Amino acid sequence: MLGEITSLLFMTVIYFFVKNLKFIPTIRNKTYELLITICMWFVIISVANLIFLEIKMPYQWYLASISTYLYLIASVSIVSLMFLYIYTYLYESHLGFKRIIPYLFIPSYVALFLIFINPVTNQVFEITETNRIVFGQQGNLSFNLLVLYSLVQIAMILFYKVQIKLDEKLALLSLPAASLVALVIQLVIPSQVMTSAAVVLPLLIIQFYIQRKDIIIDSSTNTPNQHAFLIHLKALINDEITPKIVLFNVKNLADINEKMGYQTSNIMLYQMVKDIQKVFSKGIIYRYSGSKYLYLTNQLTDIESKSLIQSLNELRKNEGEQHFIINYAFLDGSYIEQNSTHFIYTIEQTYIELKLQKENNLFILDHNAFLQFQKNKRIIELLSQVINDESLLVHYQPLYHYHDKNYLTYEALMRLKDDQLGFISPVDFIKIAEENEQIIPLGYQMLIKVGSFIKELKEKNIPLQWVSINLSVIQLLSKDFVKNVIAITKKYDIKPNQICFEITESILLDDYDTPKHVINELKAVGFVFSLDDYGTGYANLNNILALPISEIKIDKSVLYNAERSKNAYHILKSLIKGFNDIGLYTVLEGVENSKHDEMAKDLKVTATQGYFYQKPQPVEQILQNQTLN
């Protein structure tokens, strides 16, 4: 009796400890939580059964009979759940593992059937008038079941084909081992009741060595973290359940941290998560990373998500002056291939899109958006392949110089081709390359190919002033950029003054000092710089003139505007004259027809770039055309 009461005290502590934890909602964890509940009732019933059998009281026979029935049913349930726990631990990641589960419990079904018909058959047990248990022909039913499942469990653990960590293997073995040890002790010393101890001890071991690893909580908001989300996502996919995800992005978290401090910010985040949980109650909220939160369920539509977000905004409308700006996205997993890698990519791309959304806006990942994400994913793969294979495709567009009546400069342009997507527009892949910093290795590869192109022009005595290469801020700010560029030009015998780096006004809008310092370093070595797409940005003219540039390229939109408006034309003409007067080369982009060409001549630009003269072409075509010219 003392052993059972002690076990009850330990089991009570385990029960309430586990009930206050948040486990990842996998089948194994759900099995464990159910096992804890059944074990709690089993120990209570075990203690009650001993009391009813040993202490005289009214209706003792009935109470002893009922408690014995419950004890046997709970025993079978615990043995079955322990087996299920080990099975799910080993095989939950295997596709189709759930289909086998019903067949694993055929012995348990038989045992429960015999227990339920026992009042008629008395084959399992009966209670005598002196309140003693007398076991029938099937009296060893629970013992036999325990031995059967325990031996199978031990075999599964020892011969499982995937390597298990030693501490986890020993923890798993504690379940069947403790049961068998308790059974042997009970057979040797019948008066010693060990069943509750055999249950409690392995549960303690399992909790500390295995289950604690599935309590993956973000401490600041008491929400499961990204790792927990990934396990839950994979579990849904393995169960062939379509995930539905609502994404939350706190746009101004960094500002709140700076103004209010991290402690206050964490309190605000904790309250925000509580508000989300009040509204989104069917699934689980996860902290994906930093300012990003997720709601994962399998029961939600885009219309329902809109309604829930409206309710959430209503709940948050009375927040103070300092409040979080949240953007939302609804991701319907039915559009996505049921693979966790595809889901993660789509989630990451959706968060990038959320950064561009307005306050409290809902972005719905519909079929078209998903197809665009898939295209982006394919582009990233292609760019990686190009980088690894050093197979960058470069086309060159000649620029016609009016004074020399010849093509003296060229712009090198990256091109990307795919068997499925065909030629991919630079508008699509350059932005992606910049976002993923693939533009850095691509830029170095471009420089090498341009060096080879310059060498071929020289061998064929084709006149050349320079070849222009587009340069992004990401490249300028990359580590050792100047050092690497100089090393490449020396290795491939490229003269720095034959390379013109094209930059845009965007470098003037953020941290101007750093890119300007890099530009000055390269300029000092002899590289030429050109300001591209002039007229599309918002940079101050004084800042532009302070750049160490030799050329300014006027965007085609400025030309087309001047074509429609006389005032715009006169302003453009004055600007070009001013640029020419201070010694800058002026290039007019987008010259597509004879009218544009006449305008360019009248505007007195140095050169023109456009389809009216030549389109971007592969190296072979350029060499052939220029040789003929």
Unique residue bearing structure tokens 């060498």 = 455
Q: How far apart are CA 379 and CA 424, in angstroms?
A: 8
Task: Give the chain's residues under pLDDT 70.
Answer: 1-4, 20-25, 93-97, 129-139, 142, 161-164, 183, 186-217, 219, 319-321, 358-360, 508-513, 537-540, 628-629
**Sequence-ordered list of residues with C-beta below 8 angstroms from that of 196, at least 6 positions apart, any chain:** 3, 4, 7, 8, 11, 42, 43, 46, 47
Q: State residue 193's pLDDT score.
A: 53
Q: Interior CA angle at 153 toward 147 and 157, to 5°?
A: 150
Task: Locate the domains of the chain by residue range.
Answer: 2-214, 217-365, 438-628
Report pLDDT for 70: 86
Reported as a single tens digit per residue, the pLDDT across 226-252 is 888 888 888 888 778 888 888 888 888
Inter-residue contact 522 to 550 (CB < 8 Å): no
Q: Give just the sign of the alpha carbon dihedral 539, 540, 543, 545.
A: positive
Instruction: Determine phi and psi for 84, rounding to 5 degrees.
Output: -65, -40
Beta strands in 298-405 (DSSP E): 326-332, 362-365, 393-401
Q: How many CA atoms, within 13 angstroms, populate the side-chain half-sphere of residue 419?
A: 1
DSSP state of 617: B
Question: Do the domains 2-214 and 217-365 sit in the same CATH topology, yes or no?
Answer: no
What does the pLDDT read at residue 353?
77
The enclosing H or E element of 277 equals helix 262-279
**Beta bridge mates, 470:** 502
Q: How is domain 438-628 classified at the CATH fold level?
A: TIM Barrel (3.20.20)
pLDDT computed for residue 13 by the predictor: 76
Q: 2-214: which CATH architecture?
A: Up-down Bundle (1.20)
Nearest one of 86, 91, 92, 50 to 67, comparing CA atoms: 50
pLDDT at 213: 58
Task: Tell me which residue of 234, 260, 79, 65 sits closest to 152, measured CA to CA.
Answer: 79
Beta-carbon contacts of residue 1 (< 8 Å; ≥ 6 apart): 47, 50, 54, 193
Span between the terminal Cα atoms of the chain, in Å: 106
Cα angle: 566, vertex 572, 576; to 5 degrees:
145
Residue 367 CB neighbours (<10 A): 10
Domain 217-365 sits in CATH at 3.30.70.270
Please tell me the distance from the alpha carbon of residue 1 to that of residue 18, in angstroms, as a whole number: 26
What is the rounded distance in angstroms from the CA atom of residue 353 to the CA atom of residue 365?
Answer: 10
Contact predicate 287/221, CB 8 Å: yes
